[in-house]
Structure 1
Amino acid sequence: MTAPPASRQSALDRLTANAPFLARLAEINPGDVARFLDEGTDAALARVAPPAPGDDIMRGLRQWRGRIALLLALGDLSGEHDVAATTRHLTAFADTACDAALAAAFAERVPDEAPRGLAVIALGKLGSHELNYSSDIDPILIFDPATLPRRSRDDPDEAAVRIARRMVEILSARTADGHVLRVDLRLRPHPEVTPIVLPESTAISYYESQALAWEQAAFIRSRASAGDRALGERFLAAIQPFIWRRSLDFRQLREIGAMSDRIRDHFAQGQALGPGYDLKRGRGGIREIEFFAQVHQLIYGGRDPSLRVPATVDALAALARAGRVAPDVAERLTDHYAVLRRIEHRLQMVEDQQTHSLPVQPAALDGVARLDGLADGAALLAALEPVVADVGAVYDRLVAERAAPGGLPRDDGELAAALAAAGFDPPDAALRTIAEWRSGKLRALRSPAALEALETALPELVGALGASPDPDATLRRFDTLVSGLPSAINFFHLLAAQPALARVATRILSLAPTLADALAARVELIEGLIDKRAFEAPMDKDGLLAEWAPGLAGLDYERLLDRVRDRVGERRFAYGVQLIAGSADPLVAARGYADLAEAALQVLADATVAEFVAAHGRVPDSELVVLALGRLGGRALTHASDLDLIYLFTGDHLAESDGPRPLGATTYYNRLAQRVTAALSVPTAAGKLYDVDTRLRPQGAQGPLVVTVDSFERYQREEAWTWEHMALLRARPVYGSDDARAAVARVVAEVLASPHDPGDVARDAAGMRDKIAAHKPPAGPLDIKGGPGGLVDLEFAMQVAQLAGGRCHDPRIGEALACLTAAGLAPEGIGAAHDLLARMLVMLRLTAPAGEPPAAAARQLVASACGEPGWPQLLAAHDAARQEVADWWASIRPPQQEKQG
């Protein structure tokens, strides 16, 4: 279809005024614009060819992409192309670009061979010929080791990965000319551990035996889109029984329902129509139309091949013809889909961003509306309102139709089927465990009320356990938890009333042994997660003290110890859950853990001092001061860190307290410090709080527990070893009056600022590092602290640079490294290396506390928390970071101290 010249000019005017990305392309490609105005979209597109073999592939593809993007936008805006035509053209472009990139990658690797043996399997909108205007693509790459051309010495797997990686780089790398396509390879099986391209036989085996329900849904929209298409089609033919199952069992229905729920549960923002509305994920949006079609295809497509069509609009038509969906519903959804996709394209045309949300700012919303030919944002929202409302209503009916059934069956055969459907395969072990629970033999389940609570919670609980990475192992851990409870009534009622907590509990049990142990010791910790504040950013010390104050007021000392342990345990558990949920930055959590410990120290020390004063009075003009070192001093604890403390007191050591049972100052403060340590570390009925390490005090374990500030200063100036000054670099006063803490901080600052001979510091540090290595060798390759290039080496290098340079004495490592880097005393990349290793340390303390690599199920979690797309990438980044640290430490330690051999 060719639009009138006036429509073409209007399209150009709206594009120029409201889409900066396209306006730039119009300036770069005036010939294409003129041809469009004179001859129309299709005629102009016919003159745009992809780069020829031998051309600069990176530049050629990007320039071609720019011309295609411009002309397709003009065709869309002028009405010459409808949404279906635009998405087909975009998909054809992507297919050709993938072919060209793959051919170039083969030519670079094996120039005399024709490309073969590697196929691009398109999923998502690329698979259904419905590609967005600025979409990424979601392919799975497979290869045939027998036919893939490779160099004589190349391993087939390595050759395939190199070719695939180069293809992705050609498409995704951003240059001065932009990019071609963003490529997302995370839909392949186990992306956290598998290479980016899989052998055909491995992929077939996975989809025949291990694939999940969402993967089945993803393959509804699949096709061999580029590369060796014969290989791709052979692969897809082999897994047809996985995609299209003739019998739909209970497990499949349940998992389809779970996918449906996640659409709304996981995207709460942008649900309501208005500025910021998410056209893709919002209520009544694109995703709900697509899922409406896919659910019906999954249910009926196994027996009706006519429903096996990838495109959403085609699927709706096929479902209507087959009588599976009312024709008027299919027709309305088809129309709504076109409207929503058209506006989605307008959003993406503005600046070539992969966005689906309407702008929040009125001016930006008006711009999108004018690009579509509407008057303003209000007119756009008015046009969308009936569309969104109708889609949401249709989808609501779908959700209601597949509502979950009630309790679990009691018949063994039916229960086995339900357990298998939930994910227990085989269900035998789960059958035995549930039978044991129902028998009432466990202490926690002996009463009728407990058994009733169990039955109420079982459906959701079994679903959550079955969805875990290793259902049987998670069930065993859950059984251990239940076996240790005195009563399970409240616990099971809680899980029944708060189904999300069952999912949280199973995630903890399957991914985080540290949290699982805490939950087994105090099952009521799960209750703290009901409070929405449990998932908010960690509070600082003052915020925590203010929150705790009302609940701690008036308690006697023993009850206070228990209550503080409760508060700290709940908050520490919640921080760990945030990390396991992937909702918190480990560095932010580390600061939160430290502030939590400091708040606990403040409350418990205040209470202990008050108790002690009641018995022994006060020492005149004197007070206790606590100096934190190590991770607490640096305000960066992990979940299981101990507290490195030095106790000091101000005033005259010859003074005496003024209470009913007076004590000399030294005895007074040594006993008081012992009680503060006990308040922090002794287990009570509410559990354990922190281990306290006081060995960094003057003269170490052989010296008195507490000394005066004057004695401390004299020792640090006259007797302290280099390593003690290194430890002092992370010192921070955390308890005492403002004046007392300021006095101690002054002593620390002056000691650190005193001259230190760089050579002596480096030699002493190297000797101490060697002693540590001999005494405590690294536990393994993932001992983040020990071993070459670990955090210990980093801190030694940093502390030598701080003492020798006489500057950057911030106890916080990140800030100190930034200062050293700015001063030219540390390498540029050392801050990033520290952040990566610090994040890994925090995460591994939860997921692999014994020092071994985390379980396979937890590896993607750790990688994501550390900013990496998968476990292999994290290991590579880890190795690079350790090398950065090792190089810096090697450049600092004296040559004569280096180990030989």
Structure 2
Amino acid sequence: MMTVPSATSDLVDALDRAIRWSPFLAMVAAREPGIVAAVEAGRLDLSPVIDPDLPVATRLRRQRRALALTVALGDLSGRLDLTAVTAALTGFADQALDTAIRTAIAERYPGEEPRGFTAIALGKQGSFELNYSSDIDPILLFDPATLPRRAREEPEEAAVRIARRVVELLQARDGDGYVLRVDLRLRPSAEVTPIALPVDGAIAYYESQALAWERAAFIRARAAAGDIALGQRFLAAIRPFVWRRTLDFGAVGEIRALSVRIRDHHAQGQAFGPGYDLKRGRGGIREVEFFAQIHQLIHGGRDAVVRAPATRDALVELAIGSWIDVGDAAALGDAYTLLRTIEHRVQMIDDRQTHALPAIADALDRVARLHGLGEGADLLALLRPHVARVGEVYDALDDRRRPALSRDPETLAATLAAGGFDPDFAVRRIAAWRTGTYPALRSPAARDALEAVLPTLVEALGTAPDRDQALRRLDAMLESMPSAINIFRLLEARPGLADLLVRLLAHAPVLADELARRPALLDGLIDATALDGVGDLPMLVAAMRGGDAGDYGARLDHVRRLVGEARFALGAQIVAGTADPLAVAAGYARVAEAAVTVLTDATVAEFAAAHGRVPDSELVILALGRFGGGALTHASDLDLVYLFTGDFRAESDGPRPLGATLYYNRLVSRITAALSVATAAGPLYPVDTRLRPSGAQGPLAVSLDSFARYQREEAWTWEHMALTRARTVHGSPAARAATDAVVAAVLAGDRSTRDIVADARTMRADMARHKPPRGGIDAKLLPGGLVDLEFLVHVLQLTRRTGFAPDLGAAIDALAAAGLVSPSLRGAHDALTRLLVTMRLVAPDAEPPPAAATRALVAAALGVPDWPAVVASLATARQEVATAWDALMQEQAA
């Protein structure tokens, strides 16, 4: 027996108010003298003992009656807060529903357990928020394969009989009252379907036909009674239906529209005052719930933490995640607590499922006094500011649409000309969209969505430096898109995204092309935190290992989606001017390393299922080049070397064993494919393995011992130069340490200084002939650019046997500290790298961008005032590098 002990006066006062102002509670108190005596003694019993020999229905009715009084007194006395009240009411509902299911099955099939029949709790029962006089809204499901039934009885017939008996046990009334009202109308197609549904049929419905409000309903769903495992299997199956990574903003609009229809349908309860509907009125309970659910639908597909079923919990998680304003969350939470509390007072009066304040003054006074206030006016004064704040916050979700663009060609042309467009060109393009020329715009729904967002788009396009060019890129994007409805609705719901979209279209053709191929990439930018960074390596790895991917193929797609979104967001950070290109370059590298980690682990596990593992051996992946240095661009490939530890003569221990060399070469072929082959979710990275021992002629994977021997005895100077940027990105700590030791030993070995310099000079000259600069602003290949800087650093590292660090900037710092280069060379490195990373997005041809605004964007990314300063910065950096290179060549020639 659970009791809540305390001083007596609060309970006695609550009992006095209950008997004086609530006819229902007065009646129950008269019929429950034991509870009254306990309360007068200062005890609140939340688990009253009911005669176990009574018939099930009678026992449940009396249990409910006793609970109604004890919970009410706990509530009125302040001993139970709203969470405790709703938890007690929900706990009883779960128990009663489960008891009814067990009883219905046992009566018809003696000795059978409640297998194959489950109740999914929706609404407030699902979130442990039942109110004082609430009905319950379960969906009753059965598994035809496991449901008990009689000979020659169809599973469907058996399930419906069980369901009818469950409802009868809970709803039937007698002198002891009733147990629970049961509403089964939330099941799929309730007007035509039986009251109990086969679980596979229900899964198929939610995966293919369900409406937007049904998605919202399942935010608060849980398996509550009967065969819990069956219920949990059902909920796991439909989870992707509820929590979609790519949000349909049309669904959010439908939820908003539902709120509007509720306001219209219950118009008499909208105005605040006597008769106000606490649940459905403007600023009421339903609007707090809808506010939370709309944001959960938007963000829950990506942020599982915000999927909290209970409304106040959801508000807290949304605020912690910065998805909603902290002040709004607190205000809505406080309002919800008060509104629900007063709703309970209204229901306590006569045990009726009502949500409206009484319209008659005397009755309103009664509710106020039950709550401990003087009169109805005091109650209204208490509620008024909370209701007003909820209404304001919820109304802010419904951004008013801008006036539609005119369909009259002359009026439209005048509007577009005033906005700085070439009116003939712009009118032709918009007319083509409106007539459904492109596949994505052929449906009436797509064109309706287009009309809703056109004013926003045209206004944003009007801010582009070259409006017609931005419009042309938008047109190309629409032409290549398979569907446009979702992106239009997204832009309508988040007008600020239109401005960012136009910046991408106007300044970053690389990102514009990606967006045309994968419009869902824009979903990742719905919140400003997308422009804050991509997180550290453990966070990225955890995200790529998460999700609902159930098999290897799904894992590949999941990683591709996350990588595509992260790389797109990193590029958008440069265009939006929110991040230093050096930080973006490091972010690109972390994303790539996380992808290598997760896809390698997944591929190793998949391969081991067929071939086992090689005992005392493991795969090691060595990153070289820009990946090794931890600074990629948007266009970088991955330079990888695959190694394995242990004896190359060993054999794997699986059902189809392979020798170690063959084992690892087949394995790394699959890893390379996992990293580079495009799927429906998009491409990942080009993978370059030509830096492996013996280059393209050698095996993809070699043993660590073979690698060490090759590097000591056969490697060319260029291979040792490449090794200076080596970094292990996969392997156990022991394997990484062994690989690092091999690399360090090779780099510290004796070499002829003259041979290194001569080889470097020859290699650089060959590269200049076969790979000339792309354009006039090629920070990589122009004389004195990044390639020359890399050659300079690597020659010094190998000839002086010092300053080794995969990160080129860190290596320069180490060489400067040793007095081998000028410290100013680090500034040249940073300027060249910033320019390279930025130009890969805005001018991949490495020519000066034609638009002045794009040039200004590049200047801002480099931290200089204008384009002439960009040109001067490049010239200065190239001169620094060229001077150092010439000095090194002359020194070695002397």
What band does the TM-score fall into relative to the shorter chain?
Answer: 0.5 to 0.7
Distance 1:708 1:474 in 2: 52
Deviation by residue 1:376-416 (Cα, 9 ceiling, x = unmatched): xxxxxxxxxxxxxxxxxxxxxxxxxxx99511112222212
Unaligned runs of 5+ in 2: 1-399
Q: Which amino acid aligns with 2:761?
A: A
Distance 1:781 1:497 in 2: 42
Distance 1:613 1:548 in 2: 21
Task: Identify the residue that residue 805 of structure 2 maps to in structure 1.
Answer: 810
Task: Identify the residue that residue 420 of structure 2 maps to in structure 1.
Answer: 423
State the secondary structure of the residue aligned to 2:793: helix
Correspondences of 1:753-772 after superposition (within 5 Å): 753-772=748-767
What's the offset of the Cα at 1:441? Answer: 2.9
Task: Identify the residue that residue 56 of structure 1 maps to in structure 2.
Answer: none
Say if 2:671 is the partner of 1:656.
no
RMSD in angstroms over aligned alpha carbons? Answer: 1.9
Correspondences of 1:878-893 after superposition (within 5 Å): 878-893=874-889
What's the offset of the Cα at 1:852? Answer: 2.2
Q: Which amino acid aligns with 1:525?
A: L
Distance 1:549 1:730 in 2: 28
Distance 2:797 2:650 in 1: 38
Q: Which amino acid aligns with 1:455?
A: E
What's the offset of the Cα at 1:548? Answer: 3.2
Q: Which amino acid aligns with 2:542?
A: A
Q: Which stretch shows the higher mean deviation, 757-766 or 858-867?
A: 757-766
Contact persistence 1:763–1:897 (CA under 8 A):
no
Q: 1:506 aligns with which of 502, 506, 517?
A: 502
Say if 2:729 is the partner of 1:705.
no
Q: 1:841 aligns with which of 833, 836, 858?
A: 836
Task: Identify the residue that residue 65 of structure 1 maps to in structure 2.
Answer: none
Task: Identify the residue that residue 714 of structure 1 maps to in structure 2.
Answer: 709
Unaligned runs of 5+ in 1: 1-402
Q: Which amino acid aligns with 2:488?
A: F
State the secondary structure of the residue aligned to 2:547: helix
Deviation by residue 1:55-105 (Cα, 9 ceiling, x = unmatched): xxxxxxxxxxxxxxxxxxxxxxxxxxxxxxxxxxxxxxxxxxxxxxxxxxx
Task: Identify the residue that residue 110 of structure 1 maps to in structure 2.
Answer: none
Correspondences of 1:441-840 after superposition (within 5 Å): 441-551=437-547, 554-840=549-835
Deviation by residue 1:306-354 (Cα, 9 ceiling, x = unmatched): xxxxxxxxxxxxxxxxxxxxxxxxxxxxxxxxxxxxxxxxxxxxxxxxx
Q: Which amino acid aligns with 1:415?
A: L
What's the offset of the Cα at 1:895? Answer: 7.7
Distance 2:721 2:746 in 1: 11
Distance 1:657 1:706 in 2: 16
> Larger radius of gyration, structure 1 or 2?
2
Q: Which amino acid aligns with 1:760?
A: D
Q: Which amino acid aligns with 2:594?
A: A
Deviation by residue 1:211-253 (Cα, 9 ceiling, x = unmatched): xxxxxxxxxxxxxxxxxxxxxxxxxxxxxxxxxxxxxxxxxxx
What's the offset of the Cα at 1:612? Answer: 0.6
Task: Identify the residue that residue 383 of structure 2 maps to in structure 1.
Answer: none
State the secondary structure of the residue aligned to 2:546: helix
Say if 2:862 is the partner of 1:866.
yes
Distance 2:738 2:645 in 1: 9
Contact persistence 2:621–2:728 (CA under 8 A):
yes
What's the offset of the Cα at 1:896? Answer: 9.0
TM-score (structure 2 length as normaliser): 0.54
Task: Identify the residue that residue 154 of structure 2 maps to in structure 1.
Answer: none
State the secondary structure of the residue aligned to 2:684: coil
Distance 1:739 1:701 in 2: 29
Q: 1:410 aligns with which of 391, 407, 410?
A: 407
Deviation by residue 1:171-208 (Cα, 9 ceiling, x = unmatched): xxxxxxxxxxxxxxxxxxxxxxxxxxxxxxxxxxxxxx
Q: Which amino acid aligns with 2:528?
A: K
Q: Which amino acid aligns with 1:671?
A: R
Task: Identify the residue that residue 113 of structure 2 maps to in structure 1.
Answer: none
What's the offset of the Cα at 1:576? Answer: 0.3
State the secondary structure of the residue aligned to 1:797: helix
Distance 1:806 1:896 in 2: 16
Deviation by residue 1:659-699 (Cα, 9 ceiling, x = unmatched): 11111111111111111000000011111100000001111
Distance 2:434 2:763 in 1: 59
Distance 2:861 2:531 in 1: 16
Closer, same or farther: CA 897–476 of 1 in aligned 2, 3 Å: farther
What's the offset of the Cα at 1:894? Answer: 5.1
- Number of positions where the alignment pairs a residue of Structure 1 with one of Structure 2: 496
Q: Which amino acid aligns with 1:412?
A: P
Distance 2:844 2:445 in 1: 37
Say if 2:435 is the partner of 1:439.
yes
State the secondary structure of the residue aligned to 1:831: helix
What's the offset of the Cα at 1:503? Answer: 1.1
Q: Which amino acid aligns with 2:646?
A: G
Distance 1:700 1:427 in 2: 57
Contact persistence 2:544–2:558 (CA under 8 A):
no
State the secondary structure of the residue aligned to 1:880: helix
Distance 2:417 2:492 in 1: 21
What's the offset of the Cα at 1:610? Answer: 0.7
Distance 1:404 1:438 in 2: 18
What's the offset of the Cα at 1:757? Answer: 3.1
Contact persistence 1:586–1:843 (CA under 8 A):
yes
Q: Which amino acid aligns with 1:582?
A: G
Distance 1:768 1:488 in 2: 50
Contact persistence 1:614–1:659 (CA under 8 A):
yes
State the secondary structure of the residue aligned to 2:835: helix
Distance 2:879 2:486 in 1: 51
Deviation by residue 1:531-580 (Cα, 9 ceiling, x = unmatched): 3331112312111112333315x521111111111000001000000000
Distance 2:518 2:489 in 1: 17
Closer, same or farther: CA 767–441 of 1 in aligned 2, 3 Å: closer
What's the offset of the Cα at 1:705? Answer: 1.0
Q: Which amino acid aligns with 1:666?
A: T
Distance 1:867 1:505 in 2: 23
Closer, same or farther: CA 745–646 of 1 in aligned 2, 3 Å: same
Q: Which amino acid aligns with 1:585?
A: D
What's the offset of the Cα at 1:864? Answer: 1.2
Deviation by residue 1:834-867 (Cα, 9 ceiling, x = unmatched): 0000000000000111232223231111111111
Contact persistence 2:834–2:861 (CA under 8 A):
yes
State the secondary structure of the residue aligned to 1:893: helix
State the secondary structure of the residue aligned to 2:603: helix
Distance 1:466 1:570 in 2: 27
Distance 2:436 2:793 in 1: 60
Distance 2:802 2:893 in 1: 25
Distance 1:434 1:619 in 2: 62
Task: Identify the residue that residue 218 of structure 2 maps to in structure 1.
Answer: none
TM-score (structure 1 length as normaliser): 0.54
Q: Which stretch shows the higher mean deviation, 582-591 or 554-563?
A: 554-563
Contact persistence 1:762–1:894 (CA under 8 A):
no
Task: Identify the residue that residue 126 of structure 2 maps to in structure 1.
Answer: none
